[in-house]
């Protein structure tokens, strides 16, 4: 029970860290460091004759050089076992665990879009939207900006919060770190262009597999959040109408809960008969995001942590 309590308390500290302080400065942010290692070393692995093999080896390499040093430091501090080492262990553990998920950052970026739309500053809204999506925002109107923001909030809950903590339940901090690295690599090399398609294939598959279960649990979490928030919506079947194997579950469910039409031009339209979204709908999606972070913690992350700890001790 002490192990369970300690693990959960460290997670709570990490969440408090995020909510109060947000993201660390880029120069000391673990995810930025991961991005730098991807940029620095990928050219060497691209020289491997088989692009698929090179990409797989590169994925393993990036995971090792980013995770192993953290685990060695934490293990050594654990072995020393004095008051100073215990404090250092907690600080390092909380700092790196916090880097695997984000709550406050989502609020910061999405609120900028909402504020710009409320002020009818469409150009500012486009610029702020370009900070959270890959698509071209140059000619977006209010509808497409609102759609992109809501999609970002829905999908961001899965890969930016739930999946890292879901794997934390099973594997502790090492699971969360690996998930964040896979997600970071997916954002950097898992594109469908000629340069990256084969090389980023292993990363894309890893990202799909790790998000598979969390993405399919997310609609139920969103439904619970909407119920608590008293957002009335018609019953809908949980489906995926996007081109992504995972992202559609969170995006579709958010669209139907808010009864809005979400569209990524040339790729998909979700809830075609829904109303065109606006800033108020973005705000509602953000409220669902926040509450879902809390709910998933207590109905999935904590119970799974307890179960896995008991299995580890007694099996």
What CA–CA distance (Å, rounded) separates 161 from 180?
10
pLDDT tens digit sequence for 281-292: 999 999 999 999
pTM to 2 decimals? 0.91
Distances (CA, A) of 99 to 1, 26, 35, 157, 185: 26, 11, 13, 15, 15
Residue 201: which pLDDT band, with cuts at 50, 70 and 90? very high
Q: So what's the pLDDT on residue 256?
A: 95
Tokens of 138: 């140059």
pLDDT at 3: 52
The 10s digit of each residue's pLDDT in 37-78 is 999 999 999 999 999 999 999 999 999 999 999 999 999 998
| Extents of the domains making up the chain | 2-314
Q: Three-state SS for 263?
A: strand
pLDDT at residue 265, as a whole number: 86
130-188 pLDDT per residue, tens: 999 888 888 899 999 999 999 999 999 999 999 999 999 999 999 999 999 999 999 99
Rounded mean pLDDT, 256-260: 96
Q: Note the pLDDT of residue 1.
A: 47
117-141 per-residue burial string, b: 16 or more CB within 10 A, e: under 16: beeeeeeebbebbbebbeeebeebe
Contact partners, residue 209, CB within 8 Å, separation at least 6: none
In terms of Cα–Cα distance, which of 277, 280, 250 is closest to 262? 277
Nearest to 16 by CA among 296, 299, 293: 293
């Amino acid at each position: 029970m002490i192990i369970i309590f300690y693990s959960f308390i460290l997670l709570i500290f990490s969440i408090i860290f995020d909510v109060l302080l947000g993201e660390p400065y880029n120069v000391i942010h673990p995810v930025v460091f991961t991005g730098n290692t991807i940029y620095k070393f990928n050219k060497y692995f691209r020289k491997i004759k088989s692009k698929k093999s090179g990409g797989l080896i590169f994925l393993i390499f990036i995971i090792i050089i980013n995770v192993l040093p953290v685990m060695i430091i934490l293990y050594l501090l654990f072995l020393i076992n004095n008051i100073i080492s215990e404090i250092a262990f907690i600080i390092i553990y909380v700092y790196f665990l916090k880097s695997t998920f984000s709550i406050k950052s989502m609020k910061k970026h999405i609120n900028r879009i909402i504020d710009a739309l409320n002020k009818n500053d469409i150009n500012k809204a486009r610029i702020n939207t370009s900070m959270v999506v890959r698509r071209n925002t140059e000619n977006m109107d209010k509808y497409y900006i609102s759609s992109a923001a809501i999609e970002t909030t829905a999908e961001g809950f899965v890969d930016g919060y739930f999946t890292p903590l879901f794997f934390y339940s099973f594997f502790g901090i090492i699971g969360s770190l690996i998930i964040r690295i896979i997600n970071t690599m997916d954002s950097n090399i898992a594109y469908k262009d000629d340069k990256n398609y084969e090389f980023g294939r292993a990363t894309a598959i890893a990202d799909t597999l790790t998000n598979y279960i969390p993405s399919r649990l997310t609609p139920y979490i969103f439904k619970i959040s909407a119920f608590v928030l008293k957002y009335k919506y018609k019953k809908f079947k949980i489906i995926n109408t996007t081109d992504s194997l995972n992202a559609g579950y969170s995006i579709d469910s958010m669209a139907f809960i808010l009864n809005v039409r979400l569209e990524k031009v040339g790729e998909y339209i979700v809830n075609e008969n829904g109303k065109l979204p606006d800033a108020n709908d973005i705000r509602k999606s953000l409220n669902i995001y926040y509450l879902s972070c809390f709910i998933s913690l207590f109905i999935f992350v904590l119970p799974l942590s307890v179960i896995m700890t008991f299995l580890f001790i007694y099996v």
